[in-house]
Copies of this chain bind each other. A is one copy, B any other.
Protein backbone atom coordinates (compact mmCIF):
# COMPACT_ATOMS: atom_id res chain seq x y z
CA UNK A 1 0.00 0.00 0.00
CA UNK A 2 1.53 3.31 -1.11
CA UNK A 3 -0.86 5.72 0.59
CA UNK A 4 -0.57 6.28 4.32
CA UNK A 5 -2.40 4.08 6.79
CA UNK A 6 -4.31 5.90 9.51
CA UNK A 7 -4.04 4.11 12.84
CA UNK A 8 -6.57 5.40 15.40
CA UNK A 9 -5.91 4.71 19.05
CA UNK A 10 -2.26 4.33 18.10
CA UNK A 11 -1.04 4.78 21.66
CA UNK A 12 -3.14 1.94 23.06
CA UNK A 13 -2.14 -1.66 23.70
CA UNK A 14 -3.22 -3.02 20.32
CA UNK A 15 -1.70 -0.09 18.47
CA UNK A 16 1.65 -0.63 20.12
CA UNK A 17 1.53 -4.35 19.32
CA UNK A 18 0.84 -3.62 15.66
CA UNK A 19 3.57 -1.03 15.40
CA UNK A 20 6.08 -3.26 17.17
CA UNK A 21 5.69 -5.77 14.32
CA UNK A 22 4.93 -3.91 11.10
CA UNK A 23 5.85 -0.28 11.67
CA UNK A 24 8.43 -0.42 8.86
CA UNK A 25 6.03 -1.70 6.24
CA UNK A 26 3.68 1.26 5.93
CA UNK A 27 3.63 5.00 5.84
CA UNK A 28 1.71 5.57 9.07
CA UNK A 29 -0.46 8.38 10.32
CA UNK A 30 -0.89 7.84 14.06
CA UNK A 31 -3.99 9.28 15.70
CA UNK A 32 -4.58 9.38 19.42
CA UNK A 33 -6.34 11.63 21.91
CA UNK A 34 -3.05 12.09 23.74
CA UNK A 35 0.16 13.24 22.05
CA UNK A 36 2.55 10.35 21.45
CA UNK A 37 5.89 11.35 22.93
CA UNK A 38 8.73 11.52 20.42
CA UNK A 39 10.79 8.81 22.13
CA UNK A 40 7.83 6.39 22.01
CA UNK A 41 7.51 6.67 18.23
CA UNK A 42 8.63 3.64 16.22
CA UNK A 43 11.58 3.98 13.86
CA UNK A 44 10.65 5.78 10.67
CA UNK A 45 7.68 7.59 12.22
CA UNK A 46 8.15 11.25 13.03
CA UNK A 47 6.02 13.62 15.07
CA UNK A 48 4.78 15.03 11.75
CA UNK A 49 3.02 11.70 11.21
CA UNK A 50 0.96 12.02 14.39
CA UNK A 51 -2.45 13.58 14.87
CA UNK A 52 -3.94 14.50 18.22
CA UNK A 53 -7.68 14.10 17.73
CA UNK A 54 -10.80 12.59 19.24
CA UNK A 55 -12.73 10.19 17.00
CA UNK A 56 -15.98 11.59 18.31
CA UNK A 57 -15.16 14.88 16.56
CA UNK A 58 -16.26 14.29 13.00
CA UNK A 59 -14.32 17.23 11.59
CA UNK A 60 -11.08 16.11 13.16
CA UNK A 61 -11.69 12.65 11.76
CA UNK A 62 -12.41 14.01 8.28
CA UNK A 63 -9.14 15.87 8.36
CA UNK A 64 -7.28 12.79 9.59
CA UNK A 65 -8.48 10.45 6.83
CA UNK A 66 -7.50 12.79 4.03
CA UNK A 67 -5.37 10.96 1.41
CA UNK A 68 -5.03 7.74 3.37
CA UNK A 69 -5.34 4.38 1.66
CA UNK A 70 -6.64 2.50 4.65
CA UNK A 71 -7.75 2.97 8.23
CA UNK A 72 -7.03 0.68 11.17
CA UNK A 73 -9.60 1.77 13.73
CA UNK A 74 -8.68 0.89 17.30
CA UNK A 75 -9.72 4.05 19.18
CA UNK A 76 -12.42 3.79 21.78
CA UNK A 77 -12.98 3.13 25.43
CA UNK A 78 -11.21 -0.25 25.92
CA UNK A 79 -12.61 -1.08 29.37
CA UNK A 80 -14.85 -4.16 29.44
CA UNK A 81 -16.76 -2.53 32.31
CA UNK A 82 -17.01 0.89 30.64
CA UNK A 83 -20.34 2.60 31.34
CA UNK A 84 -22.95 3.00 28.62
CA UNK A 85 -22.51 6.72 28.10
CA UNK A 86 -18.84 6.24 27.34
CA UNK A 87 -19.21 3.34 24.91
CA UNK A 88 -22.17 5.03 23.22
CA UNK A 89 -20.07 8.09 22.55
CA UNK A 90 -16.53 6.82 22.13
CA UNK A 91 -17.13 3.41 20.60
CA UNK A 92 -20.44 3.59 18.71
CA UNK A 93 -20.57 7.23 17.67
CA UNK A 94 -16.78 7.36 17.24
CA UNK A 95 -16.80 4.30 14.99
CA UNK A 96 -19.59 5.78 12.92
CA UNK A 97 -17.52 8.95 12.49
CA UNK A 98 -14.54 6.92 11.26
CA UNK A 99 -16.54 4.84 8.76
CA UNK A 100 -18.45 7.89 7.58
CA UNK A 101 -15.30 9.93 7.02
CA UNK A 102 -13.57 6.99 5.32
CA UNK A 103 -16.51 6.51 2.95
CA UNK A 104 -16.69 10.22 2.17
CA UNK A 105 -12.96 10.35 1.43
CA UNK A 106 -13.06 7.26 -0.79
CA UNK A 107 -10.77 5.19 1.44
CA UNK A 108 -10.52 1.59 0.21
CA UNK A 109 -10.61 -0.35 3.44
CA UNK A 110 -11.21 -0.09 7.16
CA UNK A 111 -9.93 -2.66 9.64
CA UNK A 112 -12.01 -2.51 12.80
CA UNK A 113 -10.88 -3.72 16.21
CA UNK A 114 -13.82 -5.68 17.57
CA UNK A 115 -13.56 -7.84 20.64
CA UNK A 116 -14.16 -11.23 22.19
CA UNK A 117 -16.59 -9.37 24.45
CA UNK A 118 -18.99 -9.07 21.48
CA UNK A 119 -19.61 -12.80 21.91
CA UNK A 120 -18.59 -13.34 25.54
CA UNK A 121 -22.02 -14.52 26.68
CA UNK A 122 -21.70 -17.70 24.62
CA UNK A 123 -19.52 -18.77 27.53
CA UNK A 124 -22.49 -20.00 29.54
CA UNK A 125 -22.28 -21.91 32.81
CA UNK A 126 -23.18 -25.07 30.86
CA UNK A 127 -20.29 -24.64 28.43
CA UNK A 128 -17.54 -23.52 30.79
CA UNK A 129 -14.93 -24.47 31.81
CA UNK A 130 -14.93 -27.29 29.21
CA UNK A 131 -15.02 -24.64 26.49
CA UNK A 132 -11.53 -23.53 27.46
CA UNK A 133 -10.03 -27.00 27.11
CA UNK A 134 -8.68 -29.05 24.25
CA UNK A 135 -11.22 -31.87 24.62
CA UNK A 136 -14.08 -29.52 23.69
CA UNK A 137 -14.82 -28.95 20.00
CA UNK A 138 -17.26 -26.06 20.27
CA UNK A 139 -16.17 -23.27 17.93
CA UNK A 140 -17.41 -19.79 17.26
CA UNK A 141 -16.61 -18.87 13.66
CA UNK A 142 -17.86 -15.32 13.13
CA UNK A 143 -21.16 -16.24 11.50
CA UNK A 144 -22.98 -16.37 14.85
CA UNK A 145 -25.08 -13.48 16.13
CA UNK A 146 -23.40 -11.19 18.66
CA UNK A 147 -23.90 -12.20 22.26
CA UNK A 148 -22.09 -9.59 24.33
CA UNK A 149 -20.95 -10.07 27.88
CA UNK A 150 -21.05 -6.36 28.70
CA UNK A 151 -21.98 -2.99 27.22
CA UNK A 152 -18.49 -2.64 25.80
CA UNK A 153 -19.24 -5.82 23.83
CA UNK A 154 -22.57 -4.34 22.71
CA UNK A 155 -20.67 -1.35 21.37
CA UNK A 156 -18.21 -3.56 19.48
CA UNK A 157 -21.06 -5.53 17.92
CA UNK A 158 -22.61 -2.23 16.84
CA UNK A 159 -19.30 -1.28 15.23
CA UNK A 160 -19.32 -4.53 13.27
CA UNK A 161 -22.83 -3.78 12.03
CA UNK A 162 -21.79 -0.27 11.03
CA UNK A 163 -18.97 -1.87 9.05
CA UNK A 164 -21.44 -4.16 7.30
CA UNK A 165 -23.56 -1.17 6.35
CA UNK A 166 -20.65 0.92 5.09
CA UNK A 167 -19.41 -2.02 3.05
CA UNK A 168 -22.78 -2.66 1.46
CA UNK A 169 -23.60 0.97 0.86
CA UNK A 170 -20.23 2.45 -0.11
CA UNK A 171 -18.13 -0.51 -1.19
CA UNK A 172 -15.50 -0.18 1.54
CA UNK A 173 -13.64 -3.39 2.31
CA UNK A 174 -14.17 -4.00 6.02
CA UNK A 175 -12.50 -6.54 8.29
CA UNK A 176 -13.69 -6.83 11.89
CA UNK A 177 -11.19 -8.55 14.16
CA UNK A 178 -12.60 -9.96 17.38
CA UNK A 179 -9.44 -9.60 19.40
CA UNK A 180 -8.81 -12.19 22.11
CA UNK A 181 -6.50 -11.70 25.07
CA UNK A 182 -3.48 -9.73 23.86
CA UNK A 183 -0.35 -10.04 25.96
CA UNK A 184 3.34 -9.64 25.30
CA UNK A 185 5.95 -12.43 25.58
CA UNK A 186 3.75 -15.12 27.16
CA UNK A 187 0.06 -16.05 27.55
CA UNK A 188 -1.97 -14.79 30.51
CA UNK A 189 -0.84 -16.57 33.64
CA UNK A 190 -3.09 -19.05 35.48
CA UNK A 191 -6.13 -18.02 33.45
CA UNK A 192 -7.61 -20.79 31.28
CA UNK A 193 -9.95 -18.53 29.37
CA UNK A 194 -7.22 -16.04 28.55
CA UNK A 195 -4.91 -18.83 27.41
CA UNK A 196 -7.63 -20.20 25.12
CA UNK A 197 -7.99 -16.79 23.44
CA UNK A 198 -4.40 -15.65 23.68
CA UNK A 199 -3.12 -13.35 20.95
CA UNK A 200 0.61 -12.80 20.98
CA UNK A 201 2.07 -9.48 19.89
CA UNK A 202 3.67 -10.89 16.77
CA UNK A 203 0.52 -12.71 15.70
CA UNK A 204 -1.45 -9.52 16.31
CA UNK A 205 0.85 -7.45 14.11
CA UNK A 206 0.85 -10.14 11.42
CA UNK A 207 -2.96 -10.41 11.46
CA UNK A 208 -3.52 -6.68 11.07
CA UNK A 209 -0.89 -6.67 8.32
CA UNK A 210 -2.88 -9.37 6.50
CA UNK A 211 -6.01 -7.25 6.92
CA UNK A 212 -4.14 -4.47 5.11
CA UNK A 213 -2.97 -6.73 2.25
CA UNK A 214 -5.61 -9.36 1.49
CA UNK A 215 -8.59 -8.90 -0.81
CA UNK A 216 -12.01 -9.20 0.82
CA UNK A 217 -15.44 -7.62 1.02
CA UNK A 218 -16.71 -7.83 4.60
CA UNK A 219 -15.24 -10.21 7.14
CA UNK A 220 -15.61 -10.99 10.81
CA UNK A 221 -12.61 -12.96 12.04
CA UNK A 222 -11.18 -13.99 15.39
CA UNK A 223 -7.86 -12.55 16.44
CA UNK A 224 -6.13 -15.22 18.49
CA UNK A 225 -2.93 -17.21 18.23
CA UNK A 226 -2.83 -20.84 17.12
CA UNK A 227 -3.81 -22.07 20.58
CA UNK A 228 -4.55 -25.78 21.00
CA UNK A 229 -7.41 -25.04 23.34
CA UNK A 230 -9.17 -22.34 21.38
CA UNK A 231 -12.95 -22.07 21.00
CA UNK A 232 -12.72 -19.50 18.24
CA UNK A 233 -12.22 -20.79 14.72
CA UNK A 234 -9.23 -19.51 12.75
CA UNK A 235 -10.57 -20.88 9.46
CA UNK A 236 -11.89 -17.66 8.02
CA UNK A 237 -8.78 -15.65 8.95
CA UNK A 238 -6.54 -18.31 7.38
CA UNK A 239 -8.58 -18.73 4.22
CA UNK A 240 -9.51 -15.17 3.40
CA UNK A 241 -6.69 -13.20 4.94
CA UNK A 242 -3.81 -15.66 4.77
CA UNK A 243 -3.32 -15.42 8.52
CA UNK A 244 -0.59 -17.81 9.66
CA UNK A 245 -0.15 -17.49 13.42
CA UNK A 246 3.15 -18.61 14.98
CA UNK A 247 2.29 -18.80 18.65
CA UNK A 248 0.31 -21.25 20.76
CA UNK A 249 -0.49 -20.99 24.43
CA UNK A 250 0.02 -24.77 24.70
CA UNK A 251 3.75 -24.09 24.33
CA UNK A 252 3.60 -22.50 27.77
CA UNK A 253 2.80 -23.86 31.20
CA UNK A 254 -0.37 -22.85 33.01
CA UNK A 255 1.85 -20.42 34.92
CA UNK A 256 2.90 -18.80 31.64
CA UNK A 257 6.43 -20.23 31.40
CA UNK A 258 7.76 -21.53 28.06
CA UNK A 259 7.62 -25.34 28.17
CA UNK A 260 10.84 -25.79 26.24
CA UNK A 261 12.62 -23.84 28.97
CA UNK A 262 11.12 -26.01 31.71
Docked-complex contact B88 and A93, CB < 8 angstroms: yes
User: Which residue from chain B places its CB closest to the CB of A118 in the assembled complex?
Assistant: B161
- Which residue of B143, B157, B220 contacts A161 across the interface (Cβ within 8 Å)? B157
**Number of residues from A at the complex interface, CB < 8 A:** 26
- Which residue of B149, B154, B157, B164 contacts A147 across the interface (Cβ within 8 Å)? B164
- Which residue of B145, B148, B150, B151 contacts A145 across the interface (Cβ within 8 Å)? B145
Docked-complex contact B143 and A145, CB < 8 angstroms: yes
Docked-complex contact B88 and A164, CB < 8 angstroms: no
Q: How many copies does the complex hold?
A: 2
Knowing A147-B168, A154-B158, the reply to whether A88 touches B84 (Cβ < 8 A) is: no
Docked-complex contact A96 and B121, CB < 8 angstroms: no
What does the 1/0 interface line of A142-185 toward B look like (CB < 8 Å)? 01011111110110011001101100110000000000000000
The contact sample of 6 A-B pairs, CB cut-off 8 A, is A88-B88, A92-B92, A143-B145, A145-B164, A148-B164, A158-B158
State the A residues within 8 Å of B (CB). Answer: 84, 88, 92-93, 96, 100, 121, 143, 145-151, 153-154, 157-158, 161-162, 164-165, 168-169, 220
